[in-house]
A and B are shown apart, each in its own frame.
Chain A
């Protein structure tokens, strides 16, 4: 592969294999055949339009409304940009807290998940699929139930701290539940599989011979990891950040079940405004702000790695 010509030829050949023959135009297609993809795409496409794209447009529309449920005129579209400025000034601290919690949780999840994914991908051998399956096992129980169980594990007199307090190893007023630590703990736990999956997919498809080659060239084990494995696993780390950080920022279940009013995140506020106060315009504006943040990250990802990269897809769909 030292000859660049061979490498390009190979790349071209692979690309040609990958590209569907229709696109290159080796074959001429009749009009009927050309309409086949659109006909197959139509039903699902229409559904995505009315079940995904139009709702996203409607939430932007709602975010610029004014008025209220009790207002005689109801909600009216008035280009009411103050919904955005008000929510940012009033709830700025909630945004900051959400980003902090989910940032720490994402970092923790990557630090816990990377070694797991690495070991399974490189040394899992014939146990690979079994180990992988065991990581997905908790998904068969609703995450609401699992979070409620954490409440019992982390409780003030719960399964961990109860016995420790009885032994006198911890002061009686020691607590984790209802603190930021409990919320971050819960988020890390709940999103860890979403972190491990893309990391695993990325590490798994690294050609193991590259590591051997590095060692043949006198790289130490650690150098081989740092200079070969780590850079090649970067798409997985990026996908893990997107799949963990983005949903975790909008999460409100962990902070509701494991936290206190002082640990509320932006998701709690959105939920409260939509479902309790029926203040749709404000809540919609906050959702749009979250959506824009997500969009920026997603666009960077799509730009760098493309929308067809398997890492994110495989991670999102559980392999």
Chain B
């Protein structure tokens, strides 16, 4: 057999080194591209963090492109812009309340859609689908037109006007659909027999729900809550339409963008980014651990 090998000219012999390196080269295109794109996607975030340490001299307190290293001034004066503080207060007030209410209402819808067959199921699914697919500006226009009809109405001594309450009302509305699909996906992946087993063991439906179903769908509910919170914090278009005289964090930043953003915006952006990162990492590792168990 060895003679056969010797008979072959050297050029026909597979060259392991060349083949290996050629395969390697094409093999690395996609990973390098992906990593590059991730860097590209996060570039503005890095820039925001870096600019929160930018030293500004004689330019007024607005972000400029030239970076002069480094100062902690803006981190110390984090609360020096009163209008920004008000905007943050609105955002941090609206987001948790909206997320909480949307999670309660959306979880029930998600549970029903994932679990029961009933008349009107298809229609409900379609409404949820529409609420997600509708462009923000259309929803914003619709809500504004709707609130205009109410404007100035008095009910139990409470005058309806544009402001935090309209932002809250709008945010709950669009978050419900997102919570519902998150919970629906979780419910559909659920093993129904566990609940039946609980009922066979004489648990009432309500007890079975709280002892078996709820713990099982809890990751979906938590994910829905976090999603609703982020959606509310990040929403610009709808808040901009219905905010009246009040401002949220994004609408205030947008309002100052033309003249220049004060560096405190970058500081607060970095703080919120840090908190989001912590919660998400915690959630990711938490869900991994529970998945392993």
Contact = CB atoms under 8 A, between A and B. Distances in A.
Interface of A: 18-23, 34, 36-38, 40-41, 43-45, 47-48, 51-56, 58-59, 61-62, 112, 115-116, 118-120, 123, 129, 131, 133-153, 155, 157-159, 162, 189, 192-193, 242-243, 246-247, 249-253, 256-257, 267, 270-271, 274-275, 280, 283-284, 287, 290-291, 294-295, 297-298, 301-302, 307-308, 310, 312-314, 316-318
B135 A20 contact: no
User: Chain A's interface: helix, strand, loop or mixed, by majority?
Assistant: helix
Interface centre among A116, A158, A242 (most CB of B within 10 A): A116
A70 B16 CA distance: 83
A56 B142 contact: yes
Contacts of A151: 257
Given A44-B180, A119-B30, A159-B65, A52 B37 contact: no
Interface residues of B, number: 95
Contacts of A144: 236, 250-251, 253-254, 257
Interface stretch (B7-15, B74-82, B210-218, B270-278): B270-278
A205 to B, nearest CB: 13
B45 A118 contact: no
Given A59-B142, A253-B237, A112 B178 contact: no
Contact of A135 (B38, B181, B227, B280): B38
A52 B173 contact: yes
A269 B238 CA distance: 15
B109 interface: yes
A239 to B, nearest CB: 10
Interface of B: 30-31, 33-34, 37-38, 40-45, 47-48, 51, 63, 65, 104-106, 108-109, 111-112, 115-118, 120, 122, 124-139, 141-146, 148-149, 169-170, 172-174, 176-178, 180-182, 184-185, 188, 192, 223, 227, 230, 233-234, 236-237, 240-241, 249-251, 253-254, 257, 261, 265-266, 269, 272-273, 276-277, 280, 284, 288
A146 B41 CA distance: 10
